[in-house]
Amino acid sequence: MADNAGGWIDDLASSVMKVKGKHVIASAITTSGPTHLGTVEEFFFPSVVSERLKEMGDDPDFIFIGDVMDAFDSVPAGQKGDLAYYLGKPLISVPDPYGCHKSFGEHFLQETVDFMHKLGVSPRVIPVNKLYSEGQYDEYAKIFFTRLDDVKQILERTSLKKLPPSWKDVIMPICEKCGNIATTRVTGFDGEYVYYADDKDVGYAKGCGHQGKIPLSSHQWKMPWRLDWPTRQAFLGVTLEGAGKDHHTKGGSWDTAEAIHREILNRDPPITYRWGFVLLNGKKMSKSQGIGSLSTIVKYVPPEVLKYFLLRVDIEKDKNLDDSGEGLLKLIEEFEENLKRPRDPKKQFALHFSSPSDAWEVPFVSLLLAYQIERIWEGTKKRVGIKSDYLRPYVEAWVNGDKLPEIYRINYRPSKQNEGIIYTWLSALNGTESGFQASQKLREVAQQNSIQIESAFSQAYAVLIGRPNGPRLSSLIDAIGLLRIKNDVIGRLRTWLETDTLTCVC
């Protein structure tokens, strides 16, 4: 692709290339519920930079960390099973409501990984509990305990929040009695044991009151996010890691991470960048509210279109998805239009990294119409003249689901309730014309016969699908097939014209 067309991707990749040593591109999510479109940003943007680095001859390690130790802080809407009991416990201790994984956290991590694969993204996936149980965080926890006052001062300064005078929470122990992680509070550390009290009230969970101690080496703890993030970036040697813009505001966790790197760990922080939110019909997506569930969207929209959607505007801007049938079809059409005639370099770059399949041979809408006429896929392919089956599941989902806008819902039933203009029009065609040429001919015939063009088109729709309007006439004609229309309609009209006393305009 052309130099500099990649905008932010090229800028980030060039910055990474200046860093010596093996490059590690990191991403992560908390697996607290069904994957939504906002989650896709978390793995897709870093994957694009990683791809660009490969194009530049680099061999980056692209990793994705599943934060399965985070506290379960809300039961996602519509989730089956009684999960409220587990609020405040690590996601890895909450049962999988679907019963197919060891835990809730692992179930939704797998779901996210499955979506990644669907989008052609394959990072090295690391569940964070693996890093804890390997002891990777231990030395850092000791450093933070040793420099407790400095760490506390950084946290207060960068999060713009005051901490209690007795604060020692550089780790969050898991209560041995009730299993909570969200409600425990560190009361001391003797170099080996962490002393804690499970007595906090965090709103969604309350501590059981237990006081105990666990050895640091038990790994029955995790760090709070603001310390966990820079710690793992340090031991994993992360070169580049971005985050949603909420982490990058004043008081956000990036300021903390940066200060921990520089002031406590005496190292440079990774290169960072920020992205805007994905909104669904103007609303922020939410795992816990089930807004923007990806499983629905990917049924209707092929991966390259989703990727195009995420890349077509600047990374820092919010991206609003209209998930109505009209909105999604409009997105698909915009994608196709740019694929056919790339003009804007930004869009061209979006297309390059969305890796479109070569199956986009005919407009998607033509497939939707043809499938409704033919009812079987093989016939549909033949009708529109394509070879690939790639778009089949999407076409079937649209036609068989409830997203297809009414205007595209067609039922071909040639009827005779018509004026002679249609007979004149079809007689003037030899049947080999394209839908576009045929609809142009209808305009001509209407003009020659002093009939309003709108009225002629209404009559064409009426005779083909029994109503005065429909999808673009040219697409409709292509979907049904002009020869078939001629045979069906002229045959019927002729019989009718012969038996009725109609004034033919021909």
**Interacting residue ranges for Zn ion, rule: CB under 5 A:** 96, 98, 100-101, 107, 175, 177-178, 180, 198, 208, 210
What CA–CA distance (Å, rounded) separates 459 from 468? 7
Q: C-beta of 212: minimal distance to Zn ion in Å?
A: 8
Nearer to Zn ion (CB atom), residue 83 or residue 502: 83
* Residue 467: other Cβ atoms inside 10 A: 14
Q: C-beta of 180: minimal distance to Zn ion in Å?
A: 5
Nearer to Zn ion (CB atom), residue 210 or residue 392: 210
Q: C-beta of 28: minimal distance to Zn ion in Å?
A: 20
Q: C-beta of 120: minimal distance to Zn ion in Å?
A: 23
Q: C-beta of 96: minimal distance to Zn ion in Å?
A: 4
Residues written for the chain: 506
Residue with tokens 């080496």: 217
Nearer to Zn ion (CB atom), residue 178 or residue 505: 178
Residue with tokens 């978390």: 42
Nearer to Zn ion (CB atom), residue 180 or residue 256: 180
Q: State the Cα angle at 256 between 213 and 235, rounded to 5°.
A: 65
Q: C-beta of 69: minimal distance to Zn ion in Å?
A: 16
Nearer to Zn ion (CB atom), residue 54 or residue 118: 118
432: nearest Cα among 494, 484, 371, 499: 484
Distances (CA, A) of 474 to 81, 92, 440, 464, 494: 51, 55, 9, 12, 24
Nearer to Zn ion (CB atom), residue 204 or residue 436: 204
Nearer to Zn ion (CB atom), residue 107 or residue 287: 107
224: nearest Cα among 30, 387, 418: 30
Tell me the residue number closest to Zn ion, measured at CB: 175
What CA–CA distance (Å, rounded) separates 332 from 352? 16
Nearer to Zn ion (CB atom), residue 96 or residue 138: 96
**Secondary element (H or E) of residue 29:** strand 24-29
Nearer to Zn ion (CB atom), residue 185 or residue 383: 185
| Inter-residue contact 422 to 489 (CB < 8 Å) | yes
What CA–CA distance (Å, rounded) separates 319 from 378? 37
| Inter-residue contact 357 to 464 (CB < 8 Å) | no
* Amino acid (1-letter code) at residue 414: P
Q: C-beta of 165: minimal distance to Zn ion in Å?
A: 23
| Inter-residue contact 281 to 322 (CB < 8 Å) | yes
Q: C-beta of 222: minimal distance to Zn ion in Å?
A: 16
**Secondary element (H or E) of residue 213:** strand 211-215
Nearer to Zn ion (CB atom), residue 156 or residue 176: 176
Q: How far apart are the first and last CA of the chain?
A: 56
Q: C-beta of 67: minimal distance to Zn ion in Å?
A: 17
Q: C-beta of 33: minimal distance to Zn ion in Å?
A: 13
Q: C-beta of 480: minimal distance to Zn ion in Å?
A: 45
Nearer to Zn ion (CB atom), residue 118 or residue 157: 118
| Inter-residue contact 368 to 399 (CB < 8 Å) | yes
Nearer to Zn ion (CB atom), residue 101 or residue 200: 101
Q: C-beta of 111: minimal distance to Zn ion in Å?
A: 8
Nearer to Zn ion (CB atom), residue 101 or residue 274: 101
Helices (H), 124-251: 128-133, 138-146, 148-159, 225-236
* Residue 454: other Cβ atoms inside 10 A: 11
* 143: its two tokens: 């450093």
Specify burial of residue 326 (Cβ count, 10 A radius: 0-12, 13-18, 19+): middle
What CA–CA distance (Å, rounded) separates 316 from 471? 36
Specify burial of residue 192 (Cβ count, 10 A radius: 0-12, 13-18, 19+): exposed
What CA–CA distance (Å, rounded) separates 298 from 300? 5
Q: C-beta of 94: minimal distance to Zn ion in Å?
A: 11
What CA–CA distance (Å, rounded) separates 119 from 308? 11
